[in-house]
Structure 1
Amino acid sequence: MSPTVLEPFIYPVSGVLKLWHILLHSVLGINDSTAWIISLFGLVLTVRLFLVPFFWAQAKTARISTAMRPEQMALKDEYATRTDRESVAEQMRREKELKERYGHKVSAGCVPALIQLPVFLGLYQVLIRIARPTDELAVAADTRVGFLNAEEIKAFLRATVNDVPLPAYISMPEETLARLGTTAGDVRSFVLPYLLAAVVFTSVNMAVSIWRNQQTLDWESGMARGMHRVIIILAVLVPFLLFWIAFTGPLPVAIVLYWFANNLWTMVQTLIMYPILHRQIPLDESFHELHRQGREKARAAAREARQVKWDARRRKAVGAVQPWRIPEISRELKAEKAERRERLAAEKAERKALEKERQQARSALQREETNARVERWRAKLEARKNARSSSPPEEPTASDGPDHGPSAAE
């Protein structure tokens, strides 16, 4: 995402940072350097507090989707082979009733993602632009970062924590570090504890996410299983990636402090929010039974695939010992592979055909519903228009016309 696209989000973020600095420095009298440092944490506090309702809505929507999964799957199985319009209409009606009964709203899960990403990208852009000016720490008189002017940016660049400047980073050139009055060793010594804490917080967040996904994973969905594997891989790689970025990339002290505070908030929020949510929306035995069945089915399919693979390897090993059997073994393996492909292709084609018929019926019903809604809206507008046109004009009162007095009446 280009800086131009992020510009609208830089202004509110920089405005919050500036308001915190004004409050701390100008109102409370805290010295300039300390005020900027605390403002970073105040910025995290403000943004994350703003996002709490959206995080809650997203987590609640996901939990509700998990809780009603057994009934959704039962409906899907019941109407799996029925593609006539009446059956599709009945399924749509029952799905709608199910979502209304659970209070499920798809939009509640979409809003957080639409808000969080630009907010966090805007926040990162503000800190990067302040902590890393384009011309080796030189700030022109007309430089601005959102609502922050050149003097405020210079004050931020002069701010230090434990005598380590906020714009410094470990891989910064030595001459630039010398201009800032510090060394790479000093920056490393200061950054390392916060970096370790941020990595621990991130690892805890990912471990909790893996455990939660493991308990509610939709084993019927290949995409869900794939995403779960990706999260497990990331949980192993991310700590090394974070250290690599901090030690080799231009990651200023200000970003590390933000990183520390933001990951701490996420960990605390996760450890508080999800237990509350699990108590409010418990999963009944039907879900656990469906989860167990799906897991066993997926594992059985994985075992079968491994068995086929090992059987092929075994027969190839036999061919290595008995070379005269290689053509026969090769023909058998190719025939079995072609048979499996043909069977899977036939099953897939059958599913696609059923789904296409169902989707066509669903689309037709949705168009009819939309047209009916538009017609009701038009009829309502027409009724209002007719009501206004048929209403008699108001009689003028004595005060509306000229006051002729008693002599005029005579």
Structure 2
Amino acid sequence: MIQAFVYPVSAVMKFWHWLLASTMHVDSSHAWVASVILLVVTIRALITPLIWVVYKSGRVLVVMRPKLAAIEERYATDTTPEGVLAHQEERRKVHKEHSYNPFAGCVPGLLQVPFFLGLYRLLLWMAVPDRAQGHSLGLLTAHETQSFQSATFFGVPLTAYLAMPVDQLAQLGTTRPALEDVALPLIVAATFFTTLNTVLSQLRSRSTLEWDNGLSRRMYKLFWLFVPFVPLTILIAGFTGVVPVALLLYWFTGNLWTLGQTILLWWLVVRAFPLDDATVAHIATSRTKAIEQGRAAREVKRSRRRRRASVLIHPTSFFRVRRELLEEKREAKQAKIDARAEKRELARQRAVARREGLKQAREKRAEEKDQME
């Protein structure tokens, strides 16, 4: 599957090298370096409309939330066929009013992945001599691949990488100090921009975060835990992995593009879909409620820790405190079980009501059709 996307990606790279080297008479080595950069820019530019759809979908969902929340509150416990169908119809009306498609935010993200993997795979194959020697890659011929492997960036071969043994570097006509002068700035820049992009992505997620949803809040907090590992992973890969200069150029260019794209599209989507007072109030209320729930949960934990610590001062209270804590945990666990069971039962009743409502609607349409005939 991924190999299929190597062909369109290689076609773009072949075009840029042909345009620069054959038409504009740029040195072949410089043309290959420019082709790597222009390849990333071209693919990312073609995918930008898909990114915009994701941004727009997320922002529109935020704008709709006060209306959707009001609908959910109105029909939350309604298990009649009429109520369930009315619930769905009102949600559809809100979606239609804002031209919102629930799948619009998911599909574009999935479509981007093969292109990114195809781009990365092509550059990796071309830059590692053992994988591309004497072979065509996509639409690139074996001769073009060999020409790419002979190209240099500031005098350093595009196929050289920091973990490469000294004797292999000598065979490529370079030295470790010369390679470090080129590779280290690229690794540092790629690390910086990737980390900055990750932070900006988290901040953008916070601006569209569904504070009423506990899972969304937990996922948001969890991703912050992974942020420190982003620069660490890139540094380890750059210093110890098979990451040639060509791939470092790809990392640097791609993350620089992502930074500019994030800032621009974020600014555009905020201007295109401003938040009204109702939405701002809904977000503030939801956030305040989530913060208060978090504080209450932390206070419960602190209370339990204090009572456990009090046993050190009053050892005779050990069994009493232990019974109290166990009882509280059992009650809390049972409350969660009851709440989940109630939620499942409500969902079941609403599903039955929905089927009944659809059945009644079909029967009504059939009767109306018969009367017309």
Q: How does the TM-score come out when normalised to structure 1?
A: 0.84
Counterpart residue number, 1:62 = 58
**CA apart distance, 1:236:** 2.4
**CA apart distance, 1:370:** 9.4
Contact 2:40-2:253 at 8 Å conserved across structures: yes
Asked if 1:311 corresponds to 2:311, the answer is no
Contact 2:156-2:179 at 8 Å conserved across structures: yes
Label 1:258 to 1:364 Cα distance change in 2 as closer, same or farther (>3 A): farther
What aligned pairs does 1:223-302 form with structure 2 within 5 A after superposition? 223-302=215-294
Amino acid at match of 1:84: T
**CA apart distance, 1:124:** 0.5
What aligned pairs does 1:331-410 form with structure 2 within 5 A after superposition? 331-362=323-354
**CA apart distance, 1:134:** 2.9
Counterpart residue number, 2:313 = 321
Contact 1:195-1:243 at 8 Å conserved across structures: yes
What aligned pairs does 1:79-94 form with structure 2 within 5 A after superposition? 79-94=75-90
| 1:103 counterpart (99, 104, 111) | 99
Contact 2:156-2:182 at 8 Å conserved across structures: yes
Counterpart residue number, 2:369 = none
Counterpart residue number, 2:3 = 7
Label 1:107 to 1:368 Cα distance change in 2 as closer, same or farther (>3 A): farther
Higher relative contact order (CA 8 A, sep 6+): 2
- SS of 2:70's equivalent in the other structure is helix
Counterpart residue number, 2:120 = 124
Label 1:175 to 1:295 Cα distance change in 2 as closer, same or farther (>3 A): same
| 1:27 counterpart (23, 27, 50) | 23
Alpha-carbon distance between aligned partners in 2 of 1:349 and 1:189, rounded to the nearest angstrom: 63
Contact 2:195-2:231 at 8 Å conserved across structures: yes
Greater alpha carbon shift after TM alignment, 155-164 vs 344-353? 344-353
**CA apart distance, 1:368:** 8.1
Contact 1:17-1:43 at 8 Å conserved across structures: yes
Alpha-carbon distance between aligned partners in 1 of 2:297 and 2:23, rounded to the nearest angstrom: 68
Q: Give CA deviations for 1:6-37 in whole Å, capped at 9, x if unaligned.
A: 11111111111111111111111111101101
Give unpaired runs (5+ residues) of structure 2.
367-373
**CA apart distance, 1:203:** 2.8
Asked if 1:134 corresponds to 2:134, the answer is no
Contact 1:171-1:184 at 8 Å conserved across structures: no
Counterpart residue number, 1:379 = none
**CA apart distance, 1:215:** 2.7
Alpha-carbon distance between aligned partners in 1 of 2:285 and 2:327, rounded to the nearest angstrom: 32
Amino acid at match of 2:122: V
Q: How does the TM-score come out when normalised to structure 2?
A: 0.92
Amino acid at match of 1:55: I
Q: Give CA deviations for 1:81-134 in whole Å, capped at 9, x if unaligned.
A: 101110011111111111110010223223311211000001110011110133
Structure possessing the higher radius of gyration over alpha carbons: 1
**CA apart distance, 1:325:** 1.9
Q: Give CA deviations for 1:255-280 in whole Å, capped at 9, x if unaligned.
A: 11011111111111111111111111
Label 1:184 to 1:372 Cα distance change in 2 as closer, same or farther (>3 A): farther
Label 1:167 to 1:357 Cα distance change in 2 as closer, same or farther (>3 A): same
Give unpaired runs (5+ residues) of structure 1.
376-410
Q: Percent identity?
A: 37
Alpha-carbon distance between aligned partners in 1 of 2:112 and 2:78, rounded to the nearest angstrom: 41
Q: How many matched pairs?
A: 366
**CA apart distance, 1:238:** 1.0
Alpha-carbon distance between aligned partners in 2 of 1:370 and 1:110, rounded to the nearest angstrom: 32
- SS of 2:129's equivalent in the other structure is coil
Greater alpha carbon shift after TM alignment, 192-201 vs 283-292? 192-201
Label 1:50 to 1:360 Cα distance change in 2 as closer, same or farther (>3 A): farther
What aligned pairs does 1:127-166 form with structure 2 within 5 A after superposition? 127-134=123-130, 139-140=133-134, 143-166=135-158
Greater alpha carbon shift after TM alignment, 320-329 vs 171-180? 320-329
